[in-house]
Structure 1
Amino acid sequence: MDAKVVWLFVFVALYWSYCIFWGIKGALSARTASDYFIAGRQISLWVFILAATATSFSGWTFMGHPGLIYRDGFQYAYASFYAIAIPFTGVLFLKRQWMLGKRFGFITPGEMLAYYFRSDLIRILVVLVALIFSIPYLGIQLRASGFLFNVLTDNMLGTTVGMWLLSIVVIIYVASGGLRAVAHVDSVQAILLGGGIVVIGIVTLHDIGGLSRLSDGIAALTQIDPNTGKALFGTTTPDGYSSYIAIPGVIQFSAGLGTDSAPTGGIWTGVMILTYLMGLMGVQSTPAFSMWAFGNRSPEPFAPQQVWASAMVIGFILMFFTAIQGIGAHFLGADTEFMARYPELVNNVMATGLAGIDLLQSEGQGDMLVPQLVYLLSETAPWLVGLLAVCALAAMQSTGAAYMSTAGGMLTRDLLKRFIIPNASHGQQKLYGRLGVVLIVIAALMVATTSNDALVLMGGLAVAYGFQMWPSLIAVCWWPFLTRQGVVVGLIAGLIAVTLTENIGAQYMPWGRWPLTLHSAFWGILCNLSLAIIISALTQNSDEREHRMVFHNFLRDHASLSVGKRGLIPAAWIITLIWFFFGVGPGAVIGNWIFGDPTNAADWTFGIPSIWAWQLLWWALGVGMMWFLAYHMELSTVPHKEVVALHEDIGDIQLDLDKPG
């Protein structure tokens, strides 16, 4: 047996042993439903920091993201700003949800919203969102693991067979140990995820020949033919730049992908980048992250996770090492057209592993880029191949495990216990929670088996659904104006709009996928929030508002900004809007040229394309913005006033939705 395969099985066995250990320990610790579903509200500081980071950035970060940078260049690399966009949602909502969970004893977001709006319909819709998010999102993680092991075992395990086999251990430790097991395994997975991306980036840079050779390769990759005015590789933007180092404008009034008038020069316009990141904000607004919030001992870990672990550390890793993986693969033999024109700039180490496949010309092969980069070490460091494979496996399982556990909890608490077995014992709830995990994994495997979409873009569909939870979270955390009727109708409309502007529904519509280069998350939230506001204005009721104010009076009493800082609220709005406009929105078009002419490498101010320098600048400013909001504006700090619990578990009392709390 090949040495790399032996090392692969050795490291996988060690990793699985750790997972099963925590599965058993979690099962022994889970005496009550609260213990099983939200770790008894005892998740500690460092466990949450690492676990929430692993859950936010997973297999599609490790596997799919570099492949799309390879395909689309630095215009897609703006998606790396999800290191800031994802925890931005947490800054707005996690602390306040933790406070409400501690105060009223909520275990699931369905319980919280049903109690707040006095409606079981919103409870059912939350479970629906959890499922339509979790199943495809989990599916892409499992399929990515199958891809990886198919390559690294030299086709010993087929993609489909591999992902089904690799799912077994995940089911065992998640179903047995609940959220406590997931959190402790995720803590190690976060380290493996970040470390793996860094190591693969270093290996890629080494094989290219260093930063100088990388810069020379980018300069050649982005040349414009002086005779035709067209890019030698890739496409040409409307401004005459290579699509690899320029976004194609603010917006393009094309019908959308899959239509006759597809975007020119790439799809990643300023508004496309902004709305795509809006979709990725859906990661921490999903029902699963509400349960993560409820499971914490205190809000103390929220700010360091959002600012330092996510925005700063993961942000730097994505901006630098992931970009090197994606762009650098052109200079390692993955791009046969570039190799034919500039053989002196290519170290053709990928030829054997790729077996002649040109990733740019092969549909869906971008998802195989990272496995091929890992494969490069097969002869020189087979042990490192095994370790990096476990890093990738950990990255893919981190998010999947969290969504399996929380979705199983919502099925049990919000459907079974509420409507079928209201007096279910703690043992029954744990049993049905475990069965829910198994059913969700089977459904996810079926999706992964039948889907042919790129991993990252398939994940984009899932997070667009998750983003539709924003209006309900705005209502319960910030704005009592929004009513039950408005939020329910808005959520339903948002889910429909997302479906009709994504592949699943857009293929039957004249506008195609992502009309006007605006992501489906935008079209969903536009319908969602607009209807929520309009209908709320027409359905105001004094009794219901009095009930909602029980929540908001509590939050104002415990989470209001200190008097001396209230004058900074306009500044916080201005800083945030400026960052989103210029960093990841329409204003990002300035980044195409501000640090040097994209068509003239000698004019690049920092020796790298202007667009990359612009991204690094606004990443640093984004970290500053997150610090200002999370710490200085106290959106993620520990409340000044202690939160006293009214109920340890609201499910243990007879909940009357017709009476205020």
Structure 2
Amino acid sequence: MEAKTIWLFIFVALYWGYCIFWGIRGAMTAKTASDYFIAGRSISLWVFVLAATATSFSGWTFMGHPGLLYRDGFQYAYASFYAITIPFTGVLFLKRQWILGKRFGFVTPGEMFANYFKTDSIRLLVVLVALIFSVPYLGLQLRASGFLFNVLTDGMLGVEVGMWLLSAVVLIYVASGGLRAVAYVDTLQAIMLAVGIVAIGIIALNYVGGWDRLNDGIAALSQFDENRTPAGYSHYIAIPGVIQFVSGLGVENPVGGAWTAIMVLTYMFALMGIQSSPAFSMWAFSNHNPKPFAPQQVWASAFGIGIILMVFTAIQGLGGHFLGADTAFLAAHPELVNNAMAEGLHGVDLMESEGKQGMLVPQYIYLLGEATPWFAGLLAVCALAAMQSTGAAYMSTAGGMLTRDLLKRYVLPRATHVQQKLWGRIGVAIIVFAALMVATTATDALVLLGGLAVAYGFQMWPALMAVCYFPWLTRQGIVLGLIAGLIAVTLTEKIGADLMPWGRWPWTIHSAGWGIIFNLGIAVIVSFFTQNKADHDHKMTYHSFLRSHASVPAAKKKLVPTAWIITLVWFFFGIGPGAVIGNTLFGNPNDPSTWLFGMPSIWTWQLLWWALGVFMMWFLAYKMEMSTVPEREVEVLHEDIGDVHLDVDKP
């Protein structure tokens, strides 16, 4: 057995020991159902800051994101703005959900929506979204874990064996300790995720030969690239326009790449679905107060993860071309390539290897195997932790929703705390087993299902908008809109679009964009025709309370137009149609001598709007007090709404 494999198993054993410790600790402290499902509403500031960050940025950030940047260049690097757009959803909704959860004793989002809209239809839809989100998303993470171990152990552990073995440990600590165990394990996972990405970025830059050498390589790559945008620029350093009405409608053959400005914007919509998913509602309920929300959203996510993605992940992605992964570029410019990846890839082009772009990060770890095997083992466990961070949270929260919104609502309405915890653990096991089945039997469709999951999560936006801001949105509008949105997402993703003439992502609009068009459109239209005074008066009990605890202070109301302008301008120019300006503003893409700071214009533009995005998040979260602690204390009506009879209509 090689030294790097021995070190890998040593670090894995230490990491697993930490996970199981918190599983046992969580089981010992979970006396009530609320303790188990939402950590007794007592998660502390820094635990939430790190845990929510780990849940938001999964193994995809660690493993998949650099590979797609390698393949598609800086036009895909706009996806790094999800460091801002994911917590932007939290700025809008988390504080208000926490206030409602604290006031009315909600444990699951299904309970919140069912009580607000006075119907169980929305409860069942929320559970459906949670399951559709959790199972494929978790399956994607678990299979990626197995694939990583297969590569790093030189095939000693098969993909399926590694996947099942790794998932067993996650199941043990999540099922045992509930959300508290997930939170404390996630604190370590967040640190490992950030450290791992930065370390691999530094390794990549070192092997390439430094910053100047990297930019020289990017310049040569842009000249060598034959895939050109409609404006004649390399697809690595320019987005191909605002939108493309390509033949067949879908994105199978876009000119110069699929990442038009509209695709970037609507793809950000999909990733915003992470913090609008039902799981994050339970994260909101689990806090002692909203104090952790702002630092997580602004400093940990937008600033911290943002700069890591904008710099270190970009170095990883583009740097692969100059380390031998791109055999065509190697043949054309051997003077610019350190062929360090030749052994790991056996001389094969990265995109022709079994894992394609997914092999990029394992190859960086593989580079260290001989020189510093202990460091390679540590980075491998960082990748493992990143992949498990999101999955664990979705396992725990989905198990809670199965127990509270289905079993307790329809089968055991008088279930004791012991029974609820037992069935919560059974629910976690069901979720894990279903995810493993999907990961084992639907390997070709797994990435597609994972993409479908986040687009489904974004379809919760209109329901959250209704509960948090707009009482005129009716239950009929929200229910029909949500159903329409889920159908639209399905029919514009590959899993459903193969049956339709328009293909996947018609007109380079992501499925999340098509979903929200139908979802919100139908919700507004149906709500207009289904207004009911009794229902409106009922909903106003929630909104009156929110207005008294979460409204913008009177002294700052004059800043509301400014907040709207800042937000709309950032979305338009940072990740929307205005982003096309970034192709050329800081230099001609076809003339590297004109590049400001020696960097392609698109990279400079992205760094500029990342900094402005951090300012936007600070302004909304802190200045407008959208994520700060309410000045008025929230008085509790019910410790646990699940123990109170609810007068709602059964479907």
The aligned amino acid for 1:413 is: R
1:309 maps to amino acid: A
Is 1:213 equivalent to 2:201 in the alignment? Answer: no
> Using the alignment, how far apart are the partners of 2:446 and 2:213 within structure 1?
30
| Structure 2 CA distance for aligned equivalents of residues 233 and 548 of structure 1 | 57
* In structure 1, distance between residues paired with 2:77 and 2:560: 31
The answer for the alignment partner of 1:242 in structure 2 is 234
Q: Give yes or no for contact 2:43–2:287 (8 Å, CA) kept in 1.
A: yes
State the match for 1:574 in structure 2: 565
Structure 1 counterpart SS, 2:598: coil
**Structure 1 residue 355, shift from structure 2 partner:** 1.7
Q: CA deviation at 1:595?
A: 0.4
Contact 1:200 1:373 in 2 (8 A): yes
CA distance in 2, matches of 1:420, 1:547: 27
**Partner residue in 1 for 2:351:** 360
> What is the Cα deviation at residue 356 of structure 1?
2.6
Three-state SS of the structure 2 residue aligned to 1:647 is coil
Match of 2:268 among 260, 277, 281: 277
State the TM-score, normalized to the length of structure 2: 0.98
Instruction: Name 1:166's counterpart in structure 2.
Output: 166
Which residue, out of 620, 632, 646, partners 1:641?
632
Q: Which amino acid aligns with 1:72?
A: D
SS in 1 for 2:596: coil
Identity among equivalent positions (%) equals: 74
CA distance in 1, matches of 2:302, 2:249: 31
Kindly indicate whether residue 416 of structure 2 is the aligned counterpart of residue 435 of structure 1.
Answer: no
Q: Distance in 1 between matches of 2:328 and 2:608?
A: 32
Query: 2:440 corresponds to which letter in structure 1?
Result: T
How far 1:454 sits from its partner (Å)? 8.8
CA distance in structure 2 between the partners assigned to 1:101 and 1:579 by the alignment = 31
Aligned residue for 1:360, secondary structure, equals helix
Per the TM alignment, residue 257 of structure 1 is displaced from its structure 2 partner at its CA by 7.6
Matched, 1:25 2:64: no
CA contact (8 A) 1:255 1:512 kept: no
Indicate how the Cα distance of structure 1 residues 234 and 334 shifts in structure 2: closer, same or farther if over 3 A, else same. farther
Structure 1 residue identity aligned to 2:55: T
Q: 2:444 & 2:76 partners in 1: Cα distance?
A: 17
The residue aligned with 2:114 is: 114
Q: Which amino acid aligns with 1:14?
A: L
Q: CA deviation at 1:361?
A: 3.9
Per the alignment, in what secondary structure is the counterpart of residue 276 of structure 2?
Answer: coil
1:229 maps to what in 2?
Answer: none
Which residue matches 2:13? 13
1:129-171: CA deviations, max 9, x gaps? Answer: 0000111111111111111101110010111221111100000
Q: 2:266 & 2:348 partners in 1: Cα distance?
A: 33
Matches within 5 A, 1:226-265: 232-233=224-225, 235-255=227-247, 262-265=253-256
357 and 160 in structure 1: CA distance in 2 versus 1, 3 angstrom threshold: farther
Question: Match for 2:545 among 554, 569, 572?
Answer: 554
Take 2:445 and 2:128, find their aligned partners in 1: how far apart are those partners? 24
User: Which residue does 1:611 correspond to in 2?
Assistant: 602
Give, in whole Å, the separation in 2 of the partners of 1:275 and 1:388: 32
* Residue aligned with 1:251, SS: coil
Give the 3 Å change call, closer, same or farther, for CA 161–198 of structure 1 in structure 2.
same
Structure 2: which amino acid aligns with 1:170?
V
Matches within 5 A, 1:390-539: 390-452=381-443, 458-539=449-530
Preserved CA contact (<8 Å) 2:148 2:362: yes
Q: Which whole-Å CA distance do the structure 1 matches of 2:483 and 2:284 have between them?
A: 25
After superposition, the Cα gap between the structure-2 partners of 1:461 and 1:338, relative to the gap in structure 1 and judged at 3 Å, is same
Preserved contact between residue 258 and residue 507 of structure 1 (Cα < 8 Å): no
CA RMSD of aligned residues (A): 1.4
Q: In 1, Cα distance between the equivalents of 2:561 and 2:427?
A: 45
Shift of 1:451: 3.8
- The equivalent of 1:380 in structure 2 is 371
Q: Give the residue type in structure 1 aligned to 2:207.
A: D
Distance change in 2, residues 1:279/1:318 (3 Å): same
Cα deviation, residue 449, structure 1:
2.2
Q: What is the distance in 2 between the residues matched to 1:450 and 1:346?
A: 39
Looking at structure 2, the residues matched to 528 and 438 of structure 1 have their Cα atoms a distance apart, in angstroms, of 32
Counterpart code for 1:353: G
8 Å Cα contact 2:323/2:337 also seen in 1: yes
Using the TM superposition, give the Cα deviation of residue 455 of structure 1 relative to its aligned residue in structure 2, in angstroms. 7.4
For residue 29 of structure 1, what is the amino acid of its counterpart?
A: T
1:90 and 1:123 map into 2 onto residues whose CA distance is: 21
Is this contact kept in 2: 1:364–1:452, CA < 8 A?
Answer: no
Specify whether residues 140 and 601 from structure 1 end up closer, same or farther in structure 2 by C-alpha distance, changes over 3 A only. same
1:410 shift after superposition: 0.1
Shift of 1:445: 1.4
Tell me what 1:228 maps to.
none
1:416-447 deviation digits (Å, cap 9, x = unpaired) = 00001111111111111111111111111122
Residue of structure 2 aligned with 1:325, choices 297, 316, 341: 316
Aligned residues of 1:60 and 1:455 also touching (Cα < 8 A) = no
Secondary structure, in 3 states, of the residue corresponding to 1:300? coil
Partner of residue 89, structure 2: 89
Distance change >3 Å, CA 181–CA 125, structure 1 → 2: same
The superposition leaves residues 600-651 of structure 1 with CA deviations (integer Å, 9 ceiling, x where unpaired) of 1111011110000000000000000000000001100000100011010011
Contact 1:255 1:515 in 2 (8 A): no
Q: Distance in 2 between matches of 1:74 and 1:449?
A: 33
Distance 2:442 2:332 in 1: 35
Residues 399, 426 of structure 2: 8 Å contact kept: yes
Q: Offset at 1:448?
A: 1.9
Aligned to 1:334: 325
Tell me, in whole angstroms, the C-alpha distance in 2 between the residues paired with 1:412 and 1:454.
Answer: 29
Q: Provide the rounded CA distance (Å) in 2 between the counterparts of 1:160 and 1:551.
A: 48
Q: What is the aligned partner in structure 2 of residue 305 from structure 1?
A: 296
Return closer, same or farther for 1:312/1:89 CA change in 2, 3 Å cut-off.
Answer: same
Contact 2:54–2:389 under 8 Å retained in 1: yes
The answer to which of 561-570 and 185-194 deviates more is 561-570
CA–CA distance in structure 2, aligned partners of residues 533 and 445 of structure 1: 39
Is the 2:137–2:453 Cα contact (8 Å) retained in structure 1? Answer: yes
- Structure 1 unaligned regions, length at least 5: 224-231
Q: Distance in 2 between matches of 1:453 and 1:544?
A: 46
**TM superposition score normalised by structure 1:** 0.97
Matches of 1:200 and 1:325, distance apart in 2: 7
**Partner SS state of residue 144, structure 1:** helix
Q: Which amino acid aligns with 2:8?
A: L
CA distance in 2 between counterparts of 1:189 and 1:218 reads 32
Compared with structure 1, are the counterparts of its residues 388 and 454 closer, same or farther at alpha carbon in structure 2 (3 Å cutoff)? Answer: farther
